[in-house]
Chain A
Amino acid sequence: MQRIAIAGLGALLVAFLALPIIALFGTLSLSDMQVGLQRSLVWPALRLSVLTTLCSLVFVISLGTPLAWTLADRRGRFSGMIETVMQLPIVIPPAVAGVAMLLAFGRRGLMAGLLYPRGESVSFTTAAVIMAEVFVSAPFYVQAAISAFRRIDPRWITVAKTFGASELQVLFRVALPLSAPALVAGAAMSWARALGEFGATLMFAGNLEGRTQTLPLAIYTALESDMRAAQALAIVLVVFAFGLLLLIRSSAQSSEDRTR
């Protein structure tokens, strides 16, 4: 009886989260989907989204892993503070993040004198899209990596060091293999966040087809004229993200199996 009551509460949440997604699919006919997908803005946006999120993922992993490794042992005086600051981009509304990025890296921004001596600027370029994606998505990976590194049994590391392993060898030969499933899950989460990124991109990079118009921006642009096209694009995004989340689940599963 209690079990049913608990499951019932859970089912309420399932219905609440699933219904809008079901509506997204259910209210669009197949021919509408075809018409929507034939809009010229669809494929450049999809291509740009795949390209920029892959690039941002490379940055997030190659800089986020060393950061997480450094913060994981809580040794530095400021490591707790840095860890908290690293989480802030999750709370900041993306449009505000975009304004903040303009104030930092924009044409009149804090870094303008240093970055753009000849008056050129990163805003309105594909690079700006990648920067916005890194800003909003990095915290998800860094947080996952920190917890993964902290779960490693310190005896493994001590043993590796007594056998003469250097810090780099400990990281690459011991820590990374042990936490690989959790890192993959964190990376996928971070990728999914970058894929859905909208507000900061619109603010910082603008909205131009083929150059800065990613899938979410294309969806919003299509919404101005044609609800069906917007819906078709949204379905593409949802299906893509769904595949990604399945990957997270399966890798989380294998990580669980391994620790057992």
Chain B
Amino acid sequence: MLVIRRLLFVALCCLGACAREQEAELTVFAATSLRDAFTTLGESWKAAHPGVALTFNFAGTQELRTQLEQGATADVFASADQRHMTELVKAGRVSTPELFARNEPVIVVAKEAAASIRAWRDLLGAKRLVIGAPDVPIGRYTLQILDKVGADFRAELESKIVSRELNVRQVLNKVKLGEADVGFVYRTDALSAPELTVITIPAELNAIAEYPIAVAANAPHPKLAEAWLALVRSQEGRGALERAGFLLPRAP
């Protein structure tokens, strides 16, 4: 009898511990491109919030949106794309989002082609161009950029597309491996591959990606979520984002 009582006591303690742990866990859904910046911020978050577990779910924005639509539990959602965030707002899955970072599409060049392709005007010298699929954010921005160049330039460039990859990392990998000689990626991705030559796209042609962040409507810990948003907005948060290659939102 005593043994049973003791076991029951231990079991209840375990349950209590589990419940306490669940009380103090912040779950952040974030676009893959935010991995470096958010992981850095996570370290200082842990120092400031001992006892609060921090869980990241990094994936493509589209995948995260699908997970949220299917009822996944998250406190914060940081999107690489306004469109997906707007859809989630409409569906009542997140509260009012706010812009916290911007990311600039750039061109990366494999080392085999680095000698001949040095600036935007050399782009037609590329043999194999890789871009994102039209429905993937980086692919959509790339098409917006191509919309602004002349029809001939665009047609010639499009004839060199050998693959429309399903996420920006795949575009980067194809160039890193030398399979493609040129690809359109974000500045943050280019920064992670120092062996590649980076060409800046002329400002009048470029389409800058905008990153909104919001508290999830079903957030188990909305206060902790607000605290994470505050950290991202803080001096420290902006510094981490800039070091990862992001631009900050324009002052309102």
B-binding residues in A (CB < 8 A): 102, 106-108, 121, 123-124, 202-203, 206-209, 212, 220-221, 223-225, 227
A121 and B179 contacting across the interface, CB-CB below 8 Å: yes
Residue in chain A with minimal CB distance to B162: A124
B162 and A221 contacting across the interface, CB-CB below 8 Å: no
**How many Å lie between the Cα of A102 and that of B174 in the bound state?**
10
Query: Which residue in B135, B162, B174 is a CB contact (below 8 Å) of A225?
Result: B135
Distance in angstroms from B100 CB to nearest chain A CB is: 24
B128 and A124 contacting across the interface, CB-CB below 8 Å: yes
A123 and B166 contacting across the interface, CB-CB below 8 Å: no
**How many Å lie between the Cα of A208 and that of B180 in the bound state?**
13
Query: Which residue in B130, B136, B179 is a CB contact (below 8 Å) of A107?
Result: B179
Q: Is B163 an interface residue (CB 8 A)?
A: yes
Known: A221-B135, A224-B136, A225-B135. A208 touches B177 (CB 8 A): no
**How many Å lie between the Cα of A257 and that of B136 in the bound state?**
52
Interface membership of chain B positions 165-209, coded 1 if the CB is closer than 8 angstroms to chain A and 0 otherwise = 110001000100111100000000000000000000000000000
B170 and A202 contacting across the interface, CB-CB below 8 Å: yes
A-facing residues in B126-179 (Cβ within 8 Å): 128, 130, 133-136, 161-166, 170, 174, 177-179
Can you report 19 A-B residue pairs in the complex whose CB atoms are below 8 A from each other? A107-B179, A108-B177, A121-B179, A124-B128, A124-B179, A202-B166, A202-B170, A206-B162, A206-B164, A206-B165, A206-B179, A207-B163, A207-B166, A209-B164, A221-B135, A221-B164, A221-B166, A224-B136, A225-B134
B179 and A224 contacting across the interface, CB-CB below 8 Å: no
B170 and A102 contacting across the interface, CB-CB below 8 Å: no
Q: Is B73 an interface residue (CB 8 A)?
A: no
Q: Is B62 an interface residue (CB 8 A)?
A: yes
A124 and B177 contacting across the interface, CB-CB below 8 Å: no
Residue among A107, A108, A206 with the highest chain B CB neighbour number at 10 A: A206
Q: B residues within 8 A CB of A121?
A: 179
Q: B residues within 8 A CB of A223?
A: 62
A224 and B166 contacting across the interface, CB-CB below 8 Å: yes
Query: Which residue in B166, B177, B178 is a CB contact (below 8 Å) of A220?
Result: B166
A-facing residues in B75-102 (Cβ within 8 Å): none
Residue in chain B with minimal CB distance to A205: B163
Distance in angstroms from B65 CB to nearest chain A CB is: 10
